[in-house]
Amino acid sequence: MGVGPVAAGAAGVRRRRHRRWTVGAAAAAIALVGAGCIPEPPVEEPPAEPPVTSLSVSTAPAEMFPEFSPDVSDYVVRCANVPFDVRVEAPDAQPISVGGNPAQTGRFTVSVWRAEGQRFTIVDQGAARTYSVRCLPGDFPEFTVTREGTPQAGHYLIAPIQFTAAGFQPTYAVVFDAHGVPVWWSRQSSIFLQQLPNGNLAWTRWNGEAAEEIGLDGSVITTIEAPHPYPGTAFDFHDMIRLANGNYMIVLNEELPNQDLSIIDPSLADVPVFDHRLVEIDPATGDILWSWLASDHIDVAETDPQWYGYVRNRPDMSLGTPLYDIFHWNSVEETPTGYLLSFRHLDAVYAIERATGDVEWKLGGVDVPGDSLVISGDSRFPGPGFGGQHDARYLPGASATQFEVTLYDNGSDLAAPRTPRALRYIVHTLGFLTDRFGATGIDTVAGTATLVEEIFDLTHAPVSPFAGSARRLAGGNWMIGFGGTNGFSETTPSGEVVFHLSIDGGQLVYRALPAVPGLDPAALRAGMDAQHP
């Protein structure tokens, strides 16, 4: 029994000795290293950075939009009124100056600060190119751009509206370039932005007070107010045009009392109606040179029956009292003989003769013998026809009696909404006789309208409840503003989407328009610089 403990103790001693030897040997090795007897491992040098072979520019923490490309001249960044970094990689042959600082090559970072609306430049001295980067306001709406082809439009004009508990509220009027970059903007009170033939911009105020023609520097060139000869009227914000003679065509809204709408509802035999007065105004004097009142030429029986419930249950309150909205005008266009008007609640487009005020012809809506065009090639006729269409436009054709009409058909069938469409018709207005009633009689009709183009974008706009626009570009593409949605598209004649922009955050598009060809990017930059020195 005594042997076991002794043996165990000896083993324990041996283990302790082994540990002491190990510690001692390690200490000796360390001493040898310190004495230089054992060489230290070589220190690895970090790998050399590859030479810069192409220009690259980025910003942080906010990323500039779009991603830098030598072929894109304009950019934006959400600066948030704090300094941010511009990171550059520049080849030796391309010295780069950022924000006026000395040019450099290689990899470097420059800190930049600009206020909202201001810009700085990135100058490529090797390629002799200048890039512009502008700071977006903090409340500028978020947006998403998809570009899958080569757009024909140089710039796009929109003024998104925000849906709030208090109703629709305008936010910004914006000019986007073909890369989706906002290159001009202004806080405003309108639902659309347009460029006039003279190059200036224009809008109507949402509050119904006036329309304005403005320069790119933001200066108000002309203000067109509701004329005084019609007290109680209000400026209609849906549209305005500058005529070839320099005058303006606007629409005034006014009350028309004691109207019989029993065709809509027996209880509406003596009620006030929301009427529209089209007027030409001389901007220098404010004088009205021509006037046309819808109720003088369009009968209440032409209100499309699909809108009866809407008219009955949702009277217009913009003039302070409930008025029944039987017409609901939304666009005006000058023609060689007068004007082209679109009425939502009539589901029809009317050509008005300036000389007499008479209806020359009518496209869509309730059939009116002698006025209505015979429509061919359109599967919705006969049938539901247009649904709350907008933005009817005139295009010259082969002669005075053969021309084209484009429009945006919302497809606002209140029972079952249909796909919105951009449409182009060839119209022949040379009157002819047709036997509509067999042996019972002969009726004269205004002419024919043949559908030759019908464009959809089912991906981005399966429905469009209200508003909208459709413009055919000179190259054959279409720019379509999908009213009541958050976006617009440029499409080819076959319907292929080459550009789409959507406004995020609950904002909606009323109308999206192409700029007049030749709008100069340098002029847009100069205009913004003047507003944000």
| Domain coordinates in residue numbering, the chain | 56-135, 143-531
Lowest mean pLDDT among 164-168, 255-259, 308-312: 164-168
Helix (H, G, I), strand (E, B) or coil at 309: helix
For the chain, the straight-line distance linking the first and the last C-alpha, in angstroms and rounded, comes to 103
> Which of 237, 236, 426, 249 is CA-nearest to residue 334?
249
pLDDT band at 232 (very low <50, low <70, confident <90, very high): low
Tell me what pLDDT residue 16 has.
Answer: 38
Lowest mean pLDDT among 216-225, 299-308, 424-433, 493-502: 424-433
pLDDT band at 171 (very low <50, low <70, confident <90, very high): confident
Tell me what pLDDT residue 167 has.
Answer: 72
Tell me what pLDDT residue 217 has.
Answer: 96
Contact 509, 481 (CB under 8 A): yes
**DSSP conformation letters of 499-530:** EEEEE-SSEE-S-EEEPPTT--HHHHHHHHHH
**DSSP conformation letters of 187-249:** E-S-S--EE-TTS-EEEE-TTSSEEEEE-TTS-EEEEEEPPTTSTT-EE--S--EE-TTS-EE
pTM: 0.87
Residue tagged 């500028």 (tokens):
140
Say how many C-beta atoms besides its own lie within 10 A of residue 235's C-beta.
Answer: 20
The span from the CA of 330 to the CA of 344, in Å, is: 7
Please check the confidence at residue 25 and state whether its pLDDT lies above 60: no
Q: Enumerate the β-bridge partners of residue 155.
A: 177
The span from the CA of 371 to the CA of 365, in Å, is: 11
Tell me what pLDDT residue 41 has.
Answer: 72
Please check the confidence at residue 436 and state whether its pLDDT lies above 70: no
The span from the CA of 94 to the CA of 123, in Å, is: 9
For 74-119, how does the pLDDT look when each residue is reduced to its tens digit (9 = 90+)?
999 999 889 999 999 999 999 999 999 999 999 999 999 999 999 9
**DSSP conformation letters of 424-478:** EEEEE---EEE-SSGGG--EEE--EEEEEEEE--TTT-S---S--EEEE-TTS-E
Which amino acid is it at 289? L
Tell me what pLDDT residue 209 has.
Answer: 79
The span from the CA of 293 to the CA of 277, in Å, is: 4
Please check the confidence at residue 476 and state whether its pLDDT lies above 80: yes
Please check the confidence at residue 154 and state whether its pLDDT lies above 80: yes
Tell me what pLDDT residue 13 has.
Answer: 38
If you average pLDDT over residues 509-531, what whole number do you get?
A: 95
For 33-49, how does the pLDDT look when each residue is reduced to its tens digit (9 = 90+)?
444 556 677 777 777 78
48 or 469: which leads in pLDDT: 469
Contact 109, 99 (CB under 8 A): no
25 or 519: which leads in pLDDT: 519
Tell me what pLDDT residue 26 has.
Answer: 43
Tell me what pLDDT residue 229 has.
Answer: 66
Contact 354, 341 (CB under 8 A): no
Please check the confidence at residue 187 and state whether its pLDDT lies above 50: yes
Please check the confidence at residue 12 and state whether its pLDDT lies above 80: no
Residues 6+ apart with CB under 8 A from 186: 172, 173, 214, 218, 531
Determine whether 365 is exposed, middle or buried from the number of CB atoms within 10 Å of its CB (0-12, 13-18, 19+).
buried
What does pLDDT average to over the chain? 88
Please check the confidence at residue 460 and state whether its pLDDT lies above 80: yes
**DSSP conformation letters of 372-412:** BPEEES-TTTTTT--SS-EEEEEEEEEETTEEEEEEEE---
The span from the CA of 158 to the CA of 41, in Å, is: 67
The 194-195 sheet, strands edge to edge:
194-195, 201-204, 210-214, 220-225
Q: Mean pLDDT: which of 31-40, 434-443, 450-459 is highest? A: 450-459
Tell me what pLDDT residue 406 has.
Answer: 98
CATH topology of domain 143-531: Neuraminidase (2.120.10)
Contact 98, 88 (CB under 8 A): yes
